Amino acid sequence: MYRPLLASLLGISLAGCASQAVTLQTDSTYQVEWIGERPLIDRSHLTMTLGSDGRAYGNAGCNHWFASYSLEGERLTFGPAGSTRKLCAPAIMEQEARFLASLETLQRWDISPIDQLRLWPASGKPLRLWPE
């Protein structure tokens, strides 16, 4: 008598635990925390916004950057990035160059167990970002 009821309740509770499809939010700004294997320089500020119009943009640490992007499911790719032409400290400029170069290598995205956005290249460590 209790088994069918218990099985039914267990089935309902397990169905609620099924993972739901996660989608990458466009028109939201993310703050970059790591570029591959290296964290950002203290007090530097890199951001990324994926516009719903297929254009990505943000702050690369010194300059503003922009690029086209394509998002299909978990696949995420960027076109060549452009930026403004301000000059900053050499370490910031090196970090900015690494960030902009990494965009063209990205192939997919996911969300980590700690709800961090990860943008993955074909090989190596991801860019890691937090929602702003």
Give 10-residue mean pLDDT values along the chain (132 residues): 41 43 84 95 95 97 97 96 96 97 97 96 96 91
With H, G, I as helix, E, B as strand and everything else as coil, classify residue 97.
Answer: helix
Our count of domains for the chain comes to 1
Give pLDDT, residue 12: 39
127, 36 in Cβ contact below 8 A? yes
Instruction: Identify the pLDDT of residue 111.
Output: 95
Per-residue pLDDT, 23: 78
- What confidence score (pLDDT) does residue 24 get? 87
User: Is 36 inside any structural domain?
Assistant: yes
CATH number where 94 lies = 2.40.128.270
Residue 19 lies inside a defined structural domain of this protein:
no
d(CA 4, CA 20): 27
Q: Is the full-model pTM beyond 0.85?
A: no
Give residue 97's pLDDT: 97
| Residue 16 resides in a domain | no
Q: Give me the domain span that covers residue 83.
A: 31-131
10 Å CB burial of residue 127 (0-12, 13-18, 19+) is buried
On whether residue 64 sits in a domain, the answer given is yes
